[in-house]
A and B are shown apart, each in its own frame.
Chain A
Amino acid sequence: MRTTAFKLSFLYLVVFTALSGFLLIYISRTTNQIMAAQVVQTVDAEITGLSEEYVRGGVRALVESMERRARRPDASLYLLVDFAGNPLVGNIPQLPTIVLEEADGDVQRMRYTRSTGEGSTESGEALVRIFELRGGYRVLVGRDLGEQQRFANVFSDALQFWLISVILMAGATWFFVSRRVMKRIDGIAATSRTIMEGDLTRRLPVAGNGDEFDRLAGNLNDMLERIELLMQGMTEVTDNIAHDLKTPLNRLRTRVETALREAKTDDDYRQAMEATLDDSDGLIRIFDALLRIARVEAMSPEAGMGPVDLSAVVEEVADLYQPVLEDLGGSLDVDVAQGQTVLGNRELIAQGLVNLIENGLKYGCADGEEAPRIEISTRLDKDRCAVSVRDHGAGIDNADMDRVSGRFVRLDKSRSQPGYGLGLSLVNAIARLHGGSLSLHNAAPGLNVSFDLKTIGTPESIDIKEGSQA
């Protein structure tokens, strides 16, 4: 009774009934009026005829004419009385005198009883007009309203039938609609209960007809997708904390243990302590990186975003690393269009670039070369601008491409290198935060890694410099 479907059906019933009632009443009223007008017209015509008879042939002709008319089938009502009120001719035996006395020539409605020839009588309602002739005679002409009455009855029957059908139909509609709607809602409710109980892989049923429930379920499913992803991230972070933090923790512990057991001189202790400090710094770095990834993954895209001069950010990062590569004997080339403004977070974009360059420094040396050559470029595609960092190293096996852009993946080949396998994961998170994606492909030779950002039309270069201490 409290469902929306019931309320809606009820409202529909009330409104529809009221409307149809109004329509029926309007039609029957108008019809009645038209029919009454017709009756009056007929009566008037007869009166005109009778008056003419009277003028032409006196009372005798009038009486004859009235008798003749009264005998016709479907005859009108006639009565002629003298000045004393005695009936002379007509098919109505008697009339209350007062009716005749008060006659003023207008049409009036009255009940009557008339003889039908074979001694029987019939009664009914009629519209009559009474008029006076010279000599004190009064003539009544009228027509029975039975036809009209029948018409009214037909209408009233129709109205009742109509109302009953409307109520039945509304009931049926309510039943089917509420059953259908309730079935969908119950389906959604049941699924959401299982989801709340912890099964995040479940999705709400989508009927596929694109109705409002499908749209709702679709949106909720997208939301669940995101929640599941975040939960997965959480699980992965926990798993990786277990692995990536326990390994160095174990190394640290072993080092201290060994020092306590084997160290002889102060110098031995000092060395062990210094190594331990380095280990703990490494641990802090992993911690920071993990937290940073988790935070970026969970950030809302609006937070800390603004117009960023991408060209300037790239130039700044390049400016930071150019001397490093030059000292190594390599090179860092920048091919970036000027004045490219994107919507983003300057710090994170810079960090993404830094991580990619760091990867290039580690893995980007071409065969037989000592130092890496790295190229940074931007490419505009509609309203997205992709920033790519390309090295000339061995690249990545195609089979590993999908894996490496996933989170927290370290390829076997890279395990010997320093690092924690979190650099690309952070770039991936940053790319996703900016509504883009991280893409890798072999540039043969070398690896080309890029992520895309949304461009802004205005070429104003407004840097969002958070927490500048100037």
Chain B
Amino acid sequence: MRILIIEDDAEAAAYLAKGLKEVGHVADHASDGESGLEMALDVAYDVLIVDRMLPKRDGLSVIEALRAQSNQTPVLILSALGQVDDRVKGLKAGSDDYLPKPYAFTELLARVEALGRRPKAGGEVATTYQVGELILDRMAHSCRRGDKEITLQPREFRLLEYLMQHAGQVVTRTMLLENVWEYHFDPQTNVIDVHISRLRGKIDKDFDRPLLHTIRGAGYSIRDMAD
């Protein structure tokens, strides 16, 4: 993916760019809002990573200007403020995701990849997801793996749906909390792990090959390793 980092902290930006390149992405860097906006309009990036506070032009205003020119490139906003109302402001301005600073690189990477591979706005959304022999039918609210019908609780269904929507990608615990439970705070107990292990008990137990993998230090990923 081609990614633009608009961040005035040169060291943080260099670290970010290095990390993104290591996993095979192309990363450009702009150090202020004005040049960042110019680059974002010139080049077709897959994802923009925008700091909230920037010299010359505020991060939110960069996003607003982009959206005003019908540029729909997904934007991840980074902010040191990290408060509920601040996140709402960012999303209102047109950003697609929000990550408070300081962040873990794995968390940022997972979110950037999720944004970059998101179906384009207005595009067809698949009604069924498939990973290996696991099939989730969103219309019929049913799930099966091979010949076996799997009964899921509503929340388990949404959890699996989100995981399969991002099949092959890493999904962090925070992303799951935000998108499946719609909570934007971190419980101390790792509640997500318990839910994942229950889900795993339903879709992976009694099958020879596991589909739901734990990615150490990052989160979870659903993928068929045989692919």
Contact = CB atoms under 8 A, between A and B. Distances in A.
Partners in one complex: yes
Interface of A: 280-281, 284-285, 288, 291-292, 295, 303-304, 316, 319-321, 323-324, 327, 347-348, 350-351, 354, 358, 361, 418-419, 465-469
A351 to B, nearest CB: 5
A265 B83 CA distance: 41
A358 B188 contact: yes
Contacts of B187: 320, 354, 358
Given A467-B98, A469-B97, A347 B191 contact: no
Contact of A284 (B87, B97, B102, B195): B102
B89 to A, nearest CB: 10
A315 B97 CA distance: 27
Interface in B144-168: 155
B124 to A, nearest CB: 16
Given A285-B186, A291-B82, A324-B194, A467 B88 contact: yes
B83 A292 contact: yes
Contacts of B155: 319
Contacts of A465: 182
A350 B87 CA distance: 17
B178 interface: yes
Nearest to B101: A284
Contact of B195 (A280, A323, A348): A323
Contacts of A303: 85
A395 to B, nearest CB: 21
Contacts of A281: 104
B96 interface: yes
B185 interface: yes
Nearest to B180: A320
Nearest to B185: A351
Nearest to A470: B179
Contacts of B97: 469
B189 interface: yes
14 contacts: A280-B102, A281-B104, A288-B100, A291-B83, A292-B83, A295-B84, A316-B181, A321-B191, A327-B194, A347-B184, A348-B84, A351-B185, A354-B185, A469-B178
Given A354-B183, A468-B182, A469-B91, 5 more contacts: A295-B83, A323-B195, A467-B87, A467-B91, A467-B98
A319 B100 CA distance: 27
A467 B184 contact: yes
Most chain A CB within 10 A, of B98, B185, B186, is at B185
A19 B38 CA distance: 77
Contact of A323 (B102, B181, B183, B194): B194
A347 B185 contact: yes
B166 to A, nearest CB: 12
Contacts of B120: none
Contacts of B189: 321, 324, 358, 361
A183 B96 CA distance: 60
Nearest to B90: A467
Given A320-B191, A358-B189, A466 B88 contact: yes
Interface in B88-111: 88, 91, 96-98, 100, 102, 104
Given A288-B82, A295-B83, A467-B91, A324 B191 contact: yes
A459 B183 CA distance: 23
Contacts of A467: 87-88, 91, 98, 184
> A-side binding surface: helix, strand, loop or mixed?
helix
Given A295-B83, A361-B189, A350 B88 contact: no
Contacts of A316: 181
Contact of B183 (A292, A304, A324, A350): A350
Contacts of B83: 291-292, 295
Contact of B85 (A304, A351, A361): A304
B19 to A, nearest CB: 15
A288 B84 CA distance: 11
A347 B84 contact: yes
B26 to A, nearest CB: 25
Contact of B96 (A327, A350, A469): A469
Contacts of B104: 281
A324 B193 CA distance: 9
Most chain B CB within 10 A, of A285, A292, A320, is at A320
Nearest to B187: A354
A321 to B, nearest CB: 6
Nearest to A465: B182
Smallest CB-CB A-B distances: 4 pairs: A323-B194, A467-B91, A324-B194, A351-B185
Contacts of B179: 469
A311 to B, nearest CB: 16
B117 interface: no
A90 B215 CA distance: 139
Contacts of A347: 84, 183-185
A418 B190 CA distance: 14
B198 interface: yes
A468 to B, nearest CB: 6
Contacts of A358: 187-189
Nearest to B178: A469
Contacts of B188: 358, 418-419
A274 to B, nearest CB: 10
Interface in B8-39: none
A320 B182 CA distance: 11
A243 B161 CA distance: 44
Most chain A CB within 10 A, of B83, B97, B198, is at B83
A351 B194 contact: no
A316 to B, nearest CB: 7
Contacts of B195: 320, 323
A323 B182 contact: no
